[in-house]
């Protein structure tokens, strides 16, 4: 049975989430190393002592921020991949879900990919392997969609499901990086088939 939170506990969670949102804004605009706990406290309008009741230092705050956000991202993606249905539609919904997440959380995505891709803003935070582990679980679910599609003869067996999952993940990430760099010239595709058709049909004309 789910525990019912008291008013005080709800208020504490609300404060914690607000502090994380302020920290995300500062980390994204200035970089991890250029932000202090005092600056986060000032912008969030809390006393510095209040911050330390939630997080023992900046590294823990940073870690909590990325874990909190990545859990929300992964939950959305897992729900799409675990939904019963046609494999092609699952892949389309996967690409569309990533697009929605990217557009609504651009600042956090920059931090997230810094961790999962190995170019960490803060190597001391100890998040690299934990974030990669979460990412691997998504790839495993994505590979399962390709595997089921091959078994049902929806897809041709052109490669190992894990390899295909990495290919699609990389294609989505490429569009993401281009969009983050210049959203005007490189909009993330609204039609998921613009990405998926690279896998579905390739480059050679029939």
Separation of alpha carbons 52 and 59, rounded Å:
12
Residue 109 inside a domain? The answer is yes
**Structural contact between residues 66 and 115, judged by C-beta atoms closer than 8 angstroms:** yes
85/178 same-domain check: yes
pLDDT at 155: 93
21 neighbors 4 (Cβ within 8 angstroms) = no
Count of domains for the chain: 2
User: Model-level pTM?
Assistant: 0.79
CA angle (57 as vertex; 53, 62 as ends), nearest 5: 105
Same domain, 105 and 192: yes
Residue 1: what pLDDT?
A: 47
How far CA 132 is from CA of 30, 66, 86, 102, 145, in Å, comes to 24, 12, 28, 18, 20
CATH code for the domain of 178: 1.10.357.10
Same domain (yes/no): 45, 117: no
Domain interval for residue 17: 1-55
- Contact by Cβ (8 Å): 86, 154: yes
The answer as to whether 205 is a domain residue is no
Are 100 and 161 within one domain? yes
Which is more confident, 135 or 91? 91
Structure tokens at 77: 């993606």
Average pLDDT value for residue range 175-193: 89
CATH for 47: 1.10.10.60
What is the per-residue pLDDT for 114?
Answer: 61
Backbone angles phi, psi at 57, to 5 degrees: -165, 180
102 and 163 fall within a common domain: yes
**Mean pLDDT, the chain, integer:** 86
CA pair distance 196, 77, nearest whole angstrom? 17
Q: What is the pLDDT of residues 7-54, one digit of tens each?
A: 888 899 999 999 999 999 998 888 788 899 999 999 999 999 999 999
In a domain, 128, yes or no: yes
Give Cα 101 to chain centroid, integer Å. Answer: 7
Query: Taken in order 32, 37, 39, 44, is the CA torsion positive or negative?
Result: positive
Question: In this structure, is residue 98 part of a structural domain?
Answer: yes
Q: What is the mean pLDDT of residues 147-154?
A: 94
In a domain, 15, yes or no: yes
The reply to whether 35 and 111 lie within a common domain is no
The string of pLDDT tens digits covering residues 80-118 is 999 888 999 999 999 999 999 888 888 787 776 665 554
181, part of any domain = yes
206 is a domain residue: no
| 192 domain residue, yes or no | yes
Angle between helices 58-82 and 37-44 (to 10 degrees): 70
The confidence score (pLDDT) of residue 112 equals 65
């Amino acid at each position: 049975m789910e525990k019912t939170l008291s008013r005080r506990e709800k208020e504490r969670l609300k404060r914690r989430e607000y502090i994380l949102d302020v920290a995300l804004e500062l980390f994204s605009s200035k970089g991890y190393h250029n932000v202090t706990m005092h600056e986060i406290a000032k912008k969030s309008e809390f006393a510095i002592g209040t911050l330390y009741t939630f997080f023992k230092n900046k590294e823990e705050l940073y870690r909590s921020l990325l874990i909190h956000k990545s859990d929300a991202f992964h939950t959305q993606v897992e729900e799409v991949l675990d939904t019963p249905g046609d494999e092609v539609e699952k892949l389309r919904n996967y690409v569309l879900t990533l697009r929605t997440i990217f557009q609504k959380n651009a600042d956090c995505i920059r931090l997230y990919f810094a961790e999962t891709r190995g170019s960490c803003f803060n190597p001391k935070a100890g998040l690299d392997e934990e974030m990669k582990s979460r990412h691997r679980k998504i790839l495993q679910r994505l590979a399962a969609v390709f595997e089921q599609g091959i078994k049902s003869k929806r897809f041709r067996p052109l490669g190992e499901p894990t390899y295909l999952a990495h290919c699609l993940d990389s294609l989505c990430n490429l569009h993401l990086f281009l969009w983050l760099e210049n959203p005007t010239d490189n909009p993330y595709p609204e039609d998921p088939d613009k990405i998926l058709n690279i896998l579905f049909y390739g480059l050679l004309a029939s």
